Amino acid sequence: MAFELPKLPYAYDALEPHIDAKTMEIHHGKHHNGYTNKLNAAIEAAGIGGKDIEHYLTIEDNAGIRNNAGGYVNHKLFWTVMSPNGGGNPTGAIAEAIDKAFGSFDAFKEKFSAAAKTRFGSGWAWLIVQADGSLAVTSTPNQDTPAMSFAEVKGTPILGLDVWEHAYYLNYQNRRPDYVGAFFNVINWEEVNKRYAAAK
């Protein structure tokens, strides 16, 4: 019943030039793999194996479980919300919902980018669906996720951007804003739409 590293839905070099192959290889094969293995080890050590991932996202005071359960789910989402055929303007229900919540796609882009650029240190920027069905932009430190029961701003993440240095440093060095800008060229809006429909 151990958690398993999901396969990448595309080749390591598929997101180039926006995200380089070496970064994807290390990010998926080393970092995500590490969170997965450490999550399994932490659950085993605590003697609480065999539950759904949602259960482990309610555990606040065990750092091994909290950090690695977050790392496991966050990256699982991250790979799917990017695509070599992504980018451009959103379409469908999410396009309408973004206009309604933020005024326009450009206004959303500005807000999401600001959340990603201003997250101090390591963390994530998110587009979430809140309990009342409304959209919000938020960010979390480390590997926390808005899906954690104790998150300050709670919701179901439908788009997430990893702003840990391991996600961009090889190609962008200290230029996080350039990486954030490039992310918009690979967003898989079809997947975001699917997640939006499921979260509502």
- Of positions 144, 156, 162, 172, contacts Mn ion by CB under 5 A: 162
Tokens of 118: 């201003």
Query: Cα(197)–Cα(195) distance, rounded to whole angstroms?
Result: 5
Nearer of residues 166 and 200 to Mn ion, judged by Cβ: 166
CB of residue 86 to Mn ion, shortest distance in Å: 18
Total residues in contact with Mn ion, by rule CB under 5 A: 3
144 forms part of the interface with Mn ion (CB under 5 A) = no
Nearer of residues 144 and 162 to Mn ion, judged by Cβ: 162
Nearer of residues 102 and 164 to Mn ion, judged by Cβ: 164
Query: Cα(162)–Cα(157) distance, rounded to whole angstroms?
Result: 13
In this structure, how many other beta carbons lie within 10 angstroms of the beta carbon of residue 92?
A: 14
CB of residue 82 to Mn ion, shortest distance in Å: 12
Question: Cis ω on the peptide bond leading into residue 17 (within 30° of 0)?
Answer: yes
Strand order across the beta sheet in which 123-129 lies: 135-141, 123-129, 156-162
CB of residue 25 to Mn ion, shortest distance in Å: 13
Q: Which residues are at the interface with Mn ion (CB under 5 A)? A: 162, 164, 167
